[in-house]
Amino acid sequence: MLEFAGKTAVITGGGSGIGRGMAIAFAREGMNVVVADVELDAAEAVAQEVKALDARSLAVQCDVAGLESVRSLAGRATAEFGSVEVLCNNAGVSIGRRGMYATHEDWQWVMGVNLWGVIHGTEAFLPGMLASGNDCHIVNTSSMNGIVPSARSALYSATKYGVLGLSETLANELAGTKVGISILCPAAVTTRIMESERNRPAGLLAPEPPPVPHAVSSTFDLSPALDPVSVGELVLLGIRRNQLHIFTDQKVRALIEARHQRMLSEFDVLAEWEQSRASATN
């Protein structure tokens, strides 16, 4: 996609942080912005910011963990603006419990928002995008922890690796269509992500506190946290260039290299085994 003015973007988790940053960056390009969030007040506040930039906007309450809620979002966005050209499946939560101590409720909550949320967005919007014949683009928010493991949350990385697998494969499936796809892989960004528990549904509260309290990881030496509007600008660039992966921090390059070097080194063990089997049979 090269032209943005007058096109419509739907952003889940648009009421805060990276979603708000995308809303502002898109509004500056003259896009109509549908701000969807489980927190209606937050969505409305961002919609007001978008309108103050002379762009059209609609705030919609939406829980991405529920398919009907996301289908209703698609209906409201289309009724208001006629079509949707950009979908950002961005709503996400982080959890303060290590995977080894996770409760079933923890898994349900984090998988429901971070992975099912992206699946629901795909189900509700992709068929209409394909049928429209318009240039369209989907941006799925994963994380650097969707490529390299998070230091302390297997739950979070399980969902974000899932978003990566879903999106990379969908990119293969969508080749030759007019729908592009990008995976946003942020590192540290100044948002309210560490206050994610504010939106955990009462029915999915953890029945007991974790035996080992969560501590913020110091394993990765990342750059200072980026501001969300800059991330929004990187997303626009990523859509323009049809990037498959959108990164936000140069320091993540070394982490990805190290992960893949380690993986590749495991082939040495396979080669040794193949050699010993060949000598045994000779």
Ligand X SMILES: NC(=O)c1ccc[n+]([C@@H]2O[C@H](COP(=O)([O-])OP(=O)(O)OC[C@H]3O[C@@H](n4cnc5c(N)ncnc54)[C@H](O)[C@@H]3O)[C@@H](O)[C@H]2O)c1
* Only segment of 48-56, 76-84, 120-128, 186-194 that touches ligand X (CB under 6 A): 186-194
With CB under 6 A as the contact rule, which of the stretches 16-24, 77-85, 96-104, 260-268 interacts with ligand X?
Answer: 16-24
Would you state the torsion angle of the CA atoms of residues 200, 146, 116, 199, taken in this order, to the nearest 10 degrees? 10
Helix (H, G, I), strand (E, B) or coil at 23: helix
Give the residue, chosen from 40, 171, 188, 204, that forms a contact with ligand X under the rule CB under 6 A. Answer: 188
The nearest distance, CB 191 to ligand X, in angstroms, is: 3
- Which of 22, 27, 64, 158 binds ligand X (CB under 6 A)? It is 64
Interaction mask 107-146, ligand X, x per CB under 6 A: ------x---------------------------x-x---
Residues 6+ apart with CB under 8 A from 169: none
The yes or no reply on residue 12 touching ligand X (CB under 6 A) is yes
Stretch that binds ligand X, among 1-9, 36-44, 74-82, 233-241 (CB under 6 A): 36-44
Identified catalytic residue from 81, 156, 161, 247 = 156
DSSP for 47-61, please give it.
HHHHHHTT--EEEEE
- 65 binds ligand X per the rule CB under 6 A: yes
How is residue 15 annotated by DSSP? T
Looking up tokens 């949707």 gives 84
Q: How many CB atoms lie within 10 A of CB 21?
A: 27
Q: Where are the beta strands (DSSP E) in the chain?
A: 8-12, 32-37, 57-61, 86-89, 136-141, 179-185, 245-247
Residue 156 is among the residues annotated as catalytic for this protein: yes
Confirm or reject binding of residue 91 to ligand X (CB under 6 A).
yes
CA distance 102 to 95: 10
Catalytic (active-site) positions? 156
